Each structure stands twice: as C-alpha cells, then as structure tokens.
Amino acid sequence: MINGIHHTALSVKDMDRSLAFYRDLLGLELSMDRSWDNAGAVGDKILRVKGTAARQTMLRIGNSNNYIELFQFNKPEPTPMAEDRPVIDRGITHICLDVTDVDSEYERLSVAGVIFHCEPQDLGLGCRTTYGRDPDGNVVEFQELFNPPRKSL
C-alpha cells in the first residue's frame, strides 16, 4: 500500500544557492544536511553510479511531512540541464507548492529575482497558478486552490 509522497529530489549545481532559494526565499525548513566522499557499495547500487561524492539536504515543506531533497553531486561530474528546459520535455516537468495567495507570492518572488513564465492565471476549476524557475532552471508551480472555485478574474 502506498501511503503518499514523502519527498521530491532535485540535483542542483550549487547547494548554497539552492538553499538560498528553497530555505531562505521560500521558507522551507532545513531538516538534514550531510555530505559524503564515497557512497560505497550500497550507495553505488542505489544510485547506479560508482564513487559519488555529494552534499545532500532535506527541506520540510510547511507543516507537512513532505520534503524537497537536494543533491549537489561533486563526483563524478554531472551532465548539466538546460536552465530553460521546456516543461514538455521527458522527465519530471515541475514540482508544485500550494500557497495561500498566489498573487502576493508572485509579487514577492518577482521582486526577489525569481523568473516566472507569466503572471498568475485563473484556470477556473478552483485554481489560480503560475510557473517559476529555481536557480537551476527547475520549474516550480505556485498554486492557490479555492473551495468553492472562485469565478474567473
């Protein structure tokens, strides 16, 4: 039986820059920060990559038991991701954070330098949303849900 989603993991170029975004700007709580020089046989098996060296953090989202896990791999050298990777490309397209006021978050984060695809949009169906990019180009959706659905603006 599946209980739910525990975490989403992202490989990042610069852990300190990513912590400035996820912890400091978005307000996620750092709950673990560790490093290793060699993952060893078990780590090699799980990751399916030999001899990794990395820094790993876990950031708790709000008052939930959901996390974003960040890895900064130092060895072997990771292949870079295009920072403007279209969301239609194969793989994980985005992570979504539920917010109380998407318009206020959009304004606050825009002032802080976050790049958004567009201003928040009312999708109908009780949802207003926008996509932004983290420092590595990963897409983060900020959505506000309404119950009952609010009328289009």
Alpha carbons 136 and 30: distance in angstroms, whole number? 19
pLDDT at 91 over 90: no
Segment 22-69, tens digit of pLDDT = 999 999 999 999 999 988 888 889 899 999 999 999 999 988 889 999
Alpha carbons 85 and 93: distance in angstroms, whole number? 9
Q: Where are the domains of the chain?
A: 7-75, 95-145
For the domain 7-75, what is the CATH code? 3.10.180.10
CATH domain 95-145 topology:
2,3-Dihydroxybiphenyl 1,2-Dioxygenase; domain 1 (3.10.180)
Query: 139 with 131: CB under 8 angstroms?
Result: yes
Which residue in this structure is represented by tokens 């560790």? 34
Alpha carbons 55 and 33: distance in angstroms, whole number? 7
Alpha carbons 103 and 125: distance in angstroms, whole number? 17
pLDDT at 153 over 50: no
Is it true that 7-75 and 95-145 share their CATH fold?
Answer: yes
Question: What are the distances in angstroms from CA 120 to CA 27, 43, 75, 129?
Answer: 20, 41, 39, 5
Mean of all residue pLDDT scores within the chain: 92
Query: 15 with 30: CB under 8 angstroms?
Result: no
Which whole number is the average pLDDT over 119-128? 90
Backbone angles phi, psi at 60, to 5 degrees: -80, 135
Q: Determine how β-strand 95-98 pairs with β-strand 53-60.
A: unpaired
